[in-house]
Amino acid sequence: MSHNTFGHLFRVTTWGESHGPALGCVVDGCPPGLRFKLEDLQVWLDKRKPGQSRFVTQRREADLVKVLSGVMFDTDGETMISTGTPISMLIENTDQRSKDYGDIAQQYRPGHADYTYDLKYGIRDYRGGGRSSARETAARVAAGGIARLVVPGVKVRGALIQIGKHKINRQNWDWDQVDNNPFFAPDPEIVPVWEEYLDGIRKNGSSIGAIVEVVAEGVPAGLGAPIYSKLDQDIAALLMSINAVKGVEIGNGFGAAEITGEENADEMRMGNDGTPLFLSNNAGGILGGISTGQPVVARFAIKPTSSILTERQSIDAAGNNVDIRTKGRHDPCVGIRAVPIGEAMVACAIADHYLRDRGQTGRLK
């Protein structure tokens, strides 16, 4: 089960399960001299934190991040300055409600990793799914908080654009709305629709899929490489590494399959300020694997959680047919909390390519 590390120069290693004492990550390769306060990281963890509305799991976690290494404190005793050494961050698990897992311990939830886990490892932490628990993503979000500091001026924002068949109206897109509703929806008109729809899902003990869009502005042009280290490839890999993600696209994505070269071409003109302008952004800010300077646009699809109250046919570890229902606290739509996670993954990919292009230390240049 190697490779809980990602990134080439900006490298993040995460560890921890939902039912151990804590989880966390080590951010290696962070340049020296970055200045930040704990609240600059905590803000992203709070965004992902469970229990913030009736539409997400009711598990209660403070999700307070601690920084254990890699920084020195400025004279104010509050501002941290990165030293270039590994930044170790830790988040305690506080709500490990002891309950009867009897069934799940021996039975496989359809659509869940239970089965493949047992098959591969022969041992499985049934108390929350081990590494496939969404709790692991708290560590990613903390790492993303550091990544956002690495590239000057970069701004990475995400939004939920679809729940089930209910899509936002892109005409209404307003970033200021995203934090004003429990869905990270950029379209205020979709909020009541989703509320009513998700209440129904929730009451039935059902679950539903969703689509998240992440946009990174201020990405310097020239980050990435033509193949095997394409910026979009690394973004796609990290988004696909998020639990329950089944699809990823860049810019027009699958829509590019349906249009002609004329429609797809992002035409260019020189701007009045003497810098090149793109007249459209079908490419999603990446051409030939390299950033153009336009906003980088990525989307990913999250499947519905497999933990549902409706009875489903399955088998148990002993090879018996069983019918299974999953009790306990779950997200009716895990896509909601995937928004800050997607942001973190995109921020990490950009930071990694930034360091590869510009160098890791910076001081000697």
- Binding residue positions for FMN: 131-133, 243-244, 288, 303-307, 329
Q: In the complex, what is the shortest distance from the CB of residue 241 to a copy of itself, in angstroms, rounded to a whole number?
A: 5
Contact with a copy of itself (CB under 8 A) among 100, 262, 272, 273: 262
Q: Which of positions 172-191 make contact with a copy of itself (CB under 8 A)?
A: none
Site membership for a copy of itself, residue 335 (CB under 8 A): yes
CB 242 within 8 A of CB 250: no
Residues 156, 161, 163, 168: what is their CA dihedral angle, to the nearest 10 degrees?
160
Q: Which is nearer to a copy of itself, 176 or 228 (CB)?
A: 228
Angle at 309 between CA 306 and CA 313, to 5 degrees: 70
Does residue 168 touch a copy of itself according to CB under 8 A? no
Contact with a copy of itself (CB under 8 A): which of 77, 123, 272, 273?
123
Instruction: Provide the 10 A C-beta neighbour count for residue 353.
Output: 29
Q: Which is nearer to a copy of itself, 180 or 317 (CB)?
A: 317
Structure tokens at 233: 């490839």
Residue among 4, 52, 79, 96 that touches a copy of itself (CB under 8 A): 4
Among 61, 63, 125, 343, binds a copy of itself (CB under 8 A): 125
Interface with a copy of itself, residue 357, by CB under 8 A: yes
Q: Applying CB under 8 A, does 228 fall inside the site for a copy of itself? A: yes
Q: Kindly report the CA angle at 61 between 310 and 200, in degrees rounded to 5?
A: 30
Binding positions for a copy of itself, 291-330, rule CB under 8 A: 291-292, 301-308, 310, 312-315, 319-321
**Least distance (Å) from a copy of itself to the CB of residue 179?**
22
Query: Is residue 192 near a copy of itself by the rule CB under 8 A?
Result: no
Contact map string, positions 130 to 149, toward a copy of itself, x by CB under 8 A: xxx---x-------------
Helices 38-48 + 136-150 axis angle, to 10: 140
Part in contact with a copy of itself (CB under 8 A); list of ranges 94-102, 145-153, 182-190, 265-273: 265-273
Query: Per rule CB under 8 A, is residue 21 in the interface with a copy of itself?
Result: yes
Q: How far apart, in whole angstroms, are the C-alpha atoms of residue 332 and residue 308?
A: 9
Q: Pick the piece of the chain touching a copy of itself (CB under 8 A) from 42-50, 56-64, 172-180, 205-213.
A: 205-213
Asked whether 200 and 55 are in contact (CB, 8 A), the reply is: no
Residue numbers in the known binding site for NADP(+) are 48, 54
Among the residue ranges 50-58, 151-159, 173-181, 255-263, the one whose residues contact a copy of itself (CB under 8 A) = 255-263
CB of 154 to a copy of itself, least distance (A): 15
Q: Does 22 bind a copy of itself (CB under 8 A)?
A: yes
Amino acid at 306: S
DSSP state string for 68-137: -SSEEE-TTSS-EEE-SS-EEEEEE---------HHHHHBPPTTSTHHHHHHHHS---TTTTGGGSTTHH
Cα–Cα distance measured from residue 190 to residue 173, given in angstroms and rounded to the nearest whole number: 11
For a copy of itself (CB under 8 A), the number of binding residues is: 152
Q: Does 196 bind a copy of itself (CB under 8 A)?
A: no
CA dist., res. 310 & res. 187, Å (int): 32
Is the distance from CB of 291 to CB of 257 less than 8 angstroms?
no
- Which of 38, 64, 193, 256 touches a copy of itself by CB under 8 A? 256
Distance CA 210, CA 79 (A): 38
Helix axis angle, 136-150 relative to 338-358, nearest 10°?
40
